[in-house]
Structure 1
Amino acid sequence: MKNDYQVQTLKAHVSLNVNNVENSIEFYQKLFGVEPAKIRAGYAKFDVQNPPLNLALNEASSEKRGALSQLGIQVASTEDVLATKSRWEEIGLLTRDEMQTNCCYALQDKTWVRDPDGNEWEVFVVLEDNLAEANPCECGNKLAEEKREEKIAAACCVSEPNPVSINRASEKSCC
C-alpha cells in the first residue's frame, strides 16, 4: 500500500485505565523519570520526551478495564536495555529479564516491569528480525505448557508467569 501523503508524527498516545491514579503516578514517575504534566481528580498525563509518548492515566474500576497484552519501548541496543534495567532497579522497580528470546519472529533481549495495576512494560531490542522458520514466540511456551493448551501467536510477547530471573535492587544474594 502506497502512502501519498506525509504525516509528521509527534508521539504515540497510550491511555490506561488504572485502579488508583496516585499509585500509578508514583510508578510512572519512576518508569520514565519525569513528573506528570497534568494531574486532575482521577486523571494524570505524562508528556514523555524519550521515548516520545503521551501517556494518560484514567481511574476506573477493574470491571471497566479492557484487555491489554503489554506495553513496550523499543531501544537501539542490548546496552540500552541493560541501562534502562539498571535505572529501574536503582529506583526500586522489580525487573524480569528475557535475553536471547524469540518473540514475534524476532530474536530479542528484553527486561520487564509491572505497574500497580498489573500492566506489563518491556524495554527491548530486536537483535535479528524476520526469523521466518522459527517458532513465533518462545516467551509464551511456558504459559501454554502450564495450561496444556496449544500456543497461539496471540500469546506472543507476554512475559512469562515464572520469569527467567527476578532482580530486586534492594536484595543481595547470599553466596
Structure 2
Amino acid sequence: MKEIKILKPHVAINVRDVQRSVDFYRRMFGVEPVRVRADYAKFDLDDPPLNFALNRRANVGDGALSHLGIQVASTEDVLKMRARWEAAGLLTRDEMQTVCCYALQDKVWVTDPDGNEWEVFVVLEGDLPERGGTVGCCA
C-alpha cells in the first residue's frame, strides 16, 4: 500500500468559555489562533506540529476531550487510511464533502472501545461562514 502523507495530529477539546481558553492557549503556544468564532477556535501549530481546536460546550466536566484526529494531505490519503482501518477489521464511518468546524472536509471516523472517536481528514476549503452540524463534527 502507498504511503499516506500525514500533515499533523489533530486534538479537539471541549471548553466552557472559548475566549478565556483562546487567551490561555495563545500564551501557552505563543501564536495567534487561525480561526476564532463564538463557539469555536483553531490553532494551526508548526512547532509542535498540531491542529488544535476548542469547542464550546456548556457541560464540560473532567472529560474535556472532544475527539482526536490525523490531518492528511488529500482525499486519496483519507481513503487509503479507511482501507487500512477496514483491513484491520475496524468499523468506519465516512463524512465526505461535509462542512465541519468552518471548513469543507472529507473524513473517515473510527471509535475505540471506550468511545473515543478518531478521524482522518483533509481540509478541502477553509474559513467558511458556517460551522456545520454533523454528528461527529466538532463535537
1:95-134 map, 5 Å: 95-132=92-129
Deviations 1:147-172 (A, max 9, x none): xxxxxxxx8423xxxxxxxxxxxxxx
Gaps (5+ residues) in structure 1?
13-63, 141-154, 159-175
Greater fraction strand = 2
Code of the residue aligned with 2:90 in structure 1: it is L
The separation in 2 between residues aligned to 1:137 and 1:106, in whole angstroms, is 8
The separation in 2 between residues aligned to 1:100 and 1:93, in whole angstroms, is 22
1:9 Cα deviation from its structure 2 partner: 3.6
Gaps (5+ residues) in structure 2?
1-25, 32-45, 51-60
Code of the residue aligned with 2:131 in structure 1: it is P
User: Matched residue of 1:83: which SS?
Assistant: helix
1:91 Cα deviation from its structure 2 partner: 0.7
Equivalent in the alignment of 1:157: 138
Equivalent in the alignment of 1:20: none
The separation in 2 between residues aligned to 1:65 and 1:91, in whole angstroms, is 32
Greater fraction helix = 1
1:17-166 map, 5 Å: 66-132=63-129, 135-140=130-135, 156-158=137-139
The separation in 2 between residues aligned to 1:138 and 1:94, in whole angstroms, is 22
Over the matched positions of the two proteins, sequence identity in percent amounts to: 64
Equivalent in the alignment of 1:44: none
The separation in 1 between residues aligned to 2:106 and 2:96, in whole angstroms, is 4
Larger-gyration structure (1/2): 1
- Flag as ranges the 4+ runs of structure 1 deviating above 6 A: none
Pick 1 or 2: higher relative contact order, CA cutoff 8 A, min separation 6: 2
> When the two structures are aligned, how many residues end up with a matched partner?
87
